[in-house]
Homo-oligomer: A and B are copies of this chain.
Amino acid sequence: MKVSDQKTAEGILFTDQYQLSMAQLYYRMGLHEKLVQFDYFFREYPDYGAHKAGYCINAGLEWLLDWMQDAHFRDEDIEYLRHQTGRLGARVFADDFLAWLRANGSFDAISMRAIPEGRVVHPNVPLTVVQGPLAMAQILETSLLNHLNYQTLIATKAARIRDVGRGQLLLEFGLRRGQGKGANAGARAALIGGADFTSNVGISYVLGYPPKGTHAHSMVQVFIALGASELDAFRAYADVYPDDCLLLVDTINTLASGVPNAIKVFEELRRQGHEPVGIRLDSGDLAYLSIQAAKMLDAAGFPQTSIVLSNDLDELAIWQILTQISEEAPRYGVDPDRLVGRLAYGVGTRLITSHGEPALGGVYKLVAVQNHGAWLPAIKISESPQKTPNPGHKHVWRVYDE
C-alpha cells in the first residue's frame, strides 16, 4: 500500500460499510446521539482441534485506544463518502449526515471500562464495556473487534506455549508468517501473553525490548558458495559477536557437521576469554537432535550452553518434544530435566497465526439503550441459541478460592 493511502485505510474508515449505513439511519431517525451500551465478550475459549484453551489472556486495549484517539472523519473521508453511490446511482450519504459526521465523527464522547490487558479472562463475561452515542459507538465496532480479538487470541496462545515449555525462554519469530502489518500486533500480544522477546526489530524498538536473533542458513550458504565452509562461517560469526555467539547448526548435517563445528568454535572462543551462548536446531527430530547435541556439548565442556529449538513449534509440538526427551534422554546418559533447563523455543508461524484456531470469535453486542434517562435492556434472539447475548448492565465478579 502506498504510504499516502495508509491514513485512509487505517483511519476512521477502518470499519465495515454497514456501520456507516446504520449511522446515517440513526441520524435520520434522530437516534444517533442516544446513549447506548455495547459489551465486548467472547463466547468460547479457542478450540485448537486436538486441544482447547481453558482461559484467555486479555490484550489489545492500548492499541485500540491509540487508534480511537487518532481516528476521526477527515475532509477527504467525508468527500469519499459523498461520492458513494447506490445501485441506481443516487448518493448513499446525504449532506446533513456528512456535516454531522465531520463535526462529531470522533470517539471523544465514548467511554470505556475494561479488564486490563494481561489478565486471565473467560467466556460470556464483558471484557470491555463501551458507552456512548449510538452512531459513533456503532462505527467503533469493527476496529474494536479487530484490535481485541486478534491480540487476545495471540496472548492466549503465547501463554499456553509458555506454560507447556515449562517457563523456558520463549522467543516470538512469526513476522514472516503473520498477516501483513498485523504481525506487529501479534508480536505485542505474544509478549503480553508469555513470550520473553521477539525477533521483530521494529516492534521491539517501539515496546522497549531488545530484539533477538543471530543468523540464518543463508549465512552458512554464502560461505560455502564462495568456497569456504560451515566452520569458516561459524568462525566469522564468533569473531563479530564473541559474547553473543549462538550458532545455527543444521545447514549441512546437525550432528556430523553443525554441532562439531560449533564446538570447535566454542573452544576457540573460550581460549580467547569468551563464553559461547549456544546453538539453534531448526529441522529434523528436535527431541533426538537436542539430546545428542546436549551430549556432545556436555562432553566438550559446554554444559551450560543453550539449545534453541525452532521449526513449526507450538504447545503441542513442544509437549511432544519434552515427552520424547523425558523418555529417551536417559537412554543416552543425558539428564532430561537438565536438558529441558537449557532449552529455549523460537516460535513463529503457529504462534502468530494461533494454529488450530486462527480467530477469536469475540463479539460486540448492544445490551442497553438509554431513553429519557432510563437504561432499557436490548436483546437479540438468534436462530443459533449460543448467539443470544445477555442483556443489560453486568458486573464481573472474580471469586478466588483461598
Contacts and interface: CB of A to CB of B under 8 A. Distances in A.
Contacts of A31: 222, 226
Contacts of A134: 222
Interface centre among A9, A15, A29, A353 (most CB of B within 10 A): A9
B145 A10 contact: no
Interface stretch (A121-129, A174-182, A296-304, A335-343): A174-182
Given A22-B215, A175-B146, A206 B1 contact: yes
A183 interface: yes
B175 A15 contact: yes
Contacts of A210: 84-85
A218 B22 contact: yes
Interface centre among A180, A221, A239, A285 (most CB of B within 10 A): A180
Interface residues of A, number: 129
B9 A381 contact: no
A384 B86 contact: no
Contacts of A201: 13-17, 20
B142 A176 contact: yes
Contacts of A116: none
A287 interface: no
B25 A240 contact: yes
B202 A15 contact: yes
Contact of A354 (B90, B200, B202, B358): B358
A5 interface: yes
Nearest to A181: B181
Interface in A340-385: 349, 352-355, 358-361, 365-366, 368-369, 371, 376-384
A319 interface: no
Interface in A67-87: 70, 80, 84-87
12 contacts: A9-B202, A16-B213, A17-B199, A18-B199, A25-B240, A31-B226, A142-B175, A146-B177, A179-B352, A221-B379, A221-B380, A283-B383
